[in-house]
Amino acid sequence: MNNFIFQNPTRLIFGRGMISELPKQIPADCRLMITFGGGSVKKNGVYDQITKALEGRDYVEFWGIEPNPRIETLRKAIELGKKEGVNFLLAVGGGSVVDGTKLISAGLLYDGDPWELVLSGRNTNTVPLGAVLTLPATGSEMNSGAVISREETKEKFAFYSNYPRFSILDPTVTYSLPPFQIACGIADTFVHVMEQYMTTPGQSRIMDRWSEGILQTLIDIAPRIQENKEDYDLMCDFMLSATMGLNGFVALGVTQDWATHMIGHELTAIHGLTHGATLAIVHPGLMRTMIEQKEAKLAQYGQRVWGINEGSTRQRALKAIDRTEEFFRSLGLATRLEEANIPDETIYEIERRFNHRNVKFGEMQNITGTVAREILINCK
Amino acid sequence: MNNFIFQNPTRLIFGRGMISELPKQIPADCRLMITFGGGSVKKNGVYDQITKALEGRDYVEFWGIEPNPRIETLRKAIELGKKEGVNFLLAVGGGSVVDGTKLISAGLLYDGDPWELVLSGRNTNTVPLGAVLTLPATGSEMNSGAVISREETKEKFAFYSNYPRFSILDPTVTYSLPPFQIACGIADTFVHVMEQYMTTPGQSRIMDRWSEGILQTLIDIAPRIQENKEDYDLMCDFMLSATMGLNGFVALGVTQDWATHMIGHELTAIHGLTHGATLAIVHPGLMRTMIEQKEAKLAQYGQRVWGINEGSTRQRALKAIDRTEEFFRSLGLATRLEEANIPDETIYEIERRFNHRNVKFGEMQNITGTVAREILINCK
């Protein structure tokens, strides 16, 4: 196991009706801005619960943080926040709203163009923020990461700032989510775990078991949620799995990969594909391309998560990849580039971008532009 | 799943050589007291590492916090700390030293007799504390609990105060532990998880998987550690499992039991038995007595953790209990009262104590003095 330093200070407030805890979590004397996405919270009752909980408080609202939040939008939020003297933020929405609000929290204390913050990769000089999560997927509600896009250049980069001071997760607010969003959230959570698990075997028995435990949970609940997405306990397990999948709890002392995400981000940047949908396409192809490197861990995964006990290590590894792709398909997601209407030119554009930035992704830092092309060809 | 609010602010600093991180974790201008147990840290090199890391700093040392830390000893530490104006504590040792130091951290800011704090059960007005852990077992390094004994009345009670601000876990410091201490640490961790897991089934799929994951890890590593307790990766998994077993990560939204602990504490209070050793005796007998209530979850545990797939639910549940008892025996621990020379009178004394305090323990709050007697008779 590798040495590590771990601390996750987020207060997780979980369960039915817990939005009513809001007033206790936000200092009465702060200057609050609440950030929202496109307006679904006005339909599903979340907005009403929040305004009721904060009755008598004064706050600014900022609407319109889009999926894959754009710097162009966030600049406007930062401008408004500065004008209003905002010193506390509440993000209400899915991972994109939380991600975007993390950049706002740093941008409020930064004099330059906030895109510079994104390019710097990290800034922890921030105003405090809390979140009310409406879509389980990204884990942003309990980590310090964010992914910010720039529309004019079709770029999308990771940015690290502060952990939410608190996050409120009420599983009942997910009942109204469209099935496609739920499918993407499950795929996103699944691949988050795989990025932290599908690496060199034998690093940590307990981290392996915990990652496998989240994967088993997702496989167990996915078909049941398709039958009834208003089953409270199912949505509890979905929501908690998504948070636990990317809050550092399964990453202690082990190496990580994240190459699937790096390639997926490019598909989103170029074609606007939903994040989880890109992962369902890239991940099986990545595992097939990297089979030499990942064979032993894939066989362990196949045995423990999918019950694959027959055949050589290679056969079991390949079968485990097939089962993973079938799982994504069972969610109703495309797993091939052509199904998502991604042309071959995109493959070469991503190769060009990776080569231009001279990046090397993945656990072994061996996923160059050339390897990314090979992976994407395996996703056809 | 039940509603919950979870926050664990402890910074976990894990790995070989990490004691050198100490100076960064302790403010230079604080008045520091370092608390120790009986002196094993002078033999295993930990004391030298700490004095080297804190070279040039001024601090007070308090020695002699015993296993099952006694209020009689802690009063002296509090007196010394008050005299010296101490405002930061560093606990160096196993769970007992960390537990005792939690009471000191509250006692330093309390004017009355610190036993009143123990009887009150909770006090969060404390000076900050950090820990360097030398014995994986109690999880005290990453939770807010402590268990304090009173020698003169042979009492032992739980007390809740603050989370350590940081805890340093270097698995190499465990190499010199006696095999009995390691066995008790494994049993303690195992039963901590069972207290949070062996409850009503179907509360949370992910919490079940994570608890099962720790149990599987312990079963995997225990015989290997007996062969070589200087295998770094094995001791990493042991140390991390012990911390994860009682830091709240497997308790999110699920009910808990803790009756095994409540009965075990009495065996320690009356006979001075090591905590982990009491659990190995009480836990199988408790499960046999509570078989009606716990049958379904025991069968799940048997299937997932021990691979027991044959027989009726009852047969699988009983087999799972047998396997658990065999596991404790494989650690070299006694699992029956007479093996530990506990006389029948103790059974009736514990019944009397529970009835006198009018307590009802366990998930269903149905473990009265009478039931505790039945359990202990099943431990004969």
Q: What is the mean pLDDT of residues A354-367?
A: 97
Is pLDDT at A69 greater than 90 in this prediction? yes
Contact between residue A260 and residue A194 where contact means Cβ atoms under 8 Å apart: yes
pLDDT for A154: 87
In tens, the pLDDT along A295-321 reads 999 999 999 999 999 999 999 999 999
Indicate whether this complex's ipTM tops 0.90.
yes
Mean pLDDT over A22-32 rounds to 97
Which residues of A are less than 8 Å from B3 in CB distance?
Answer: 14-18
Q: What is the pLDDT of residues A169-195, one digit of tens each?
A: 999 999 999 999 999 999 999 999 999
- Contact: A1, B236; criterion CB under 8 Å: yes
How close, in Å, is residue A200 to chain B by CA atoms? 14
Confidence tier at A156 by pLDDT (50, 70, 90): confident
CA distances in angstroms from A278 to A284, A285, B25, B191, listed in the order given:
11, 11, 41, 42
Contact B19, B132 (CB under 8 A): yes
A215-272 pLDDT per residue, tens: 999 999 999 999 999 999 999 999 999 999 999 999 999 999 999 999 999 999 999 9
Instruction: Round the CA-based radius of gyration of chain B to a whole number and report it.
Output: 20
Average pLDDT, chain A: 97
Q: How far is A220 from chain B (nearest CA, A)?
A: 9
Residues of B in contact with A220 (CB under 8 A): 205
Q: What element of type H or E holds B32?
A: strand B32-36
CA distance A287 to chain B (A): 25
Residue in chain B lying closest to A10 (CA): B7
CA angle A8, A13, A17 (to 5 degrees): 165
pLDDT in tens, B336-346: 999 999 999 99
Residue A102: pLDDT band with limits 50, 70, 90: very high
The closest of A173, A164, A157 to A17, measured between CA atoms, is A173
Q: What are phi and psi of A45, to 5 degrees?
A: 90, -5
- Predicted TM-score (pTM) of the model is 0.97
Average pLDDT for B44-73: 96
Q: Is the pLDDT of residue B156 over 90?
A: no
Cβ contacts of B1 on chain A, cutoff 8 Å: 14-15, 232-233, 236-237, 240
Cα torsion B131, B132, B136, B142: sign: positive
The mean predicted confidence, pLDDT, of chain B is: 97
Residues of A in Cβ contact (< 8 Å) with B14 = 1, 3-6, 252-253
Closest chain A residue to B202 measured between Cα atoms? A233
Report pLDDT for A142. 98
pLDDT at B154: 87
